[in-house]
Structure 1
């Protein structure tokens, strides 16, 4: 606009200082100069006054910003949609690294535009927009939105492994435990989000793998049951891997029923065979308990021997040499968990 005004001033000045070849006449070169200045001023004034406003920076619509963060502009959608503002009624065009990928018309009177792009390959893009109001031509490009397209799922994590500290009972490798919030570990891609799922209880824990790909999850409370536990990996774009192979873990937090009162075997009950008085200092004691549980026979707090109840729950222990005194015998039962 300032340049146009300057040219107009120059034009007026040319009128007052024109050179005449004779009184009352203007030279041919002077007239041509005036016409050129007038045309230049009109063109520049028209261009300056009617330039289309530059649109706002395109913004990735939230539903297309996949993954854990809704504002990192990383997505697994290959045809993302954008929203912004431009001159009402203008034609808006968006570009990915300078290549046109979509057009629309800005709404009137708000000027809001929404554009879905054509298919974009995986990679990084600068997304810009231009507007054309149909009168003065296309605006300059907007500032750029940095966008990342990632549609590739991460690698499958390893099979989860129950930690030895959580594998209670007689064996620390049988995946049978009384710990209802056990710790499991595994490996995956470095830095990736890992989810642990039970076929019985659903999602039971999450973690981020460290720089070496190692992860560890202490679960939420698991129901008493057999659980097929699998791990999946999820990247920042929201792509999820196939589930790992399953680890079957049995949760048993219920103590077995107390065994029946120990009974002195008839063959060890010398004299009257029901008075529990015997001259046998290594007597045999019988009893019943839950099938397959581990039985310990005690005299007070002193262990006299252990065994395993059979499938019917019957057990029998022959003690070591006992002192001549009264012995109060009890039995405890421990299951495999």
Structure 2
């Protein structure tokens, strides 16, 4: 796929590494005393190649899409909830709206493939690839052409906010049935048994959960030989997930700080990582979800998430909640006195 070949991600220059570590270590504190804040400050400064890093015009992009597999009963909620929740986002009534407002984070909702026609709204991007994907229990979720369109959609949204001066963005999603897609992506991309990947999603009962596992195992038997990330995305992903893959790749290519939310967003990140491993230097994992698959994915990625708060909502909520800690990491890095500035004796 030509578009993927153009989404090469540059490795980060390590020229400033020693100076950044020295600046952190010279602050008026014991070595390492600010823990993960020190690691975050170092990572952000390294991405920006700056001794005075800043977070500018933060955004959360929420991608929405419907999934054909939802019609097979893998979710506790009907498919109409996808468009109803998009409407809720646009009215400002969802959790992500509340947290984004609280922390002065701009938000944009992208209709990547919702089975509904929305009225115009200043926060809505009408990028519909189609009215939802096909049911992957019966056929691949999308064609290669539609997969590329979704990748381009995600990249274009990142380019648009980059032009507004954004250098830090989080990725959220909405799509009934998308935990099933994420479970399949995880299983194939990490080559792990499906039982380690499937969770209760929107709150399935025991009976509903068993039904979900059975259906996804049937899907795995139907597609035994998938290996490439693009083939896996085409077979199982939703348009919103593929758009996130394109957006994550473009954000790293643009040297932006990439905030990864929960299970679905991490599955999209995993696909992007398999396509361009250098994105690992640009990504910050915001929280550890209650979904068992997310915990296994984080372990496989050797990721240390900022928050562990038993969240399992999606929408980018973990990104918005973690953002003030990122601000704190840069505030200490830029504003905290050094031993020499404060006239404080260092450890002998």
Name the TM-score, length of structure 2 as normaliser. Answer: 0.18
Q: Looking at CA atoms only, which structure, 1 or 2, has the larger radius of gyration?
A: 1
Instruction: Decide which structure has greater strand share.
Output: 1
User: Greater share of helix residues, 1 or 2?
Assistant: 2
**Greater RCO, 1 or 2 (C-alpha within 8 Å, sep 6+):** 2
TM-score normalised to structure 1 length: 0.18
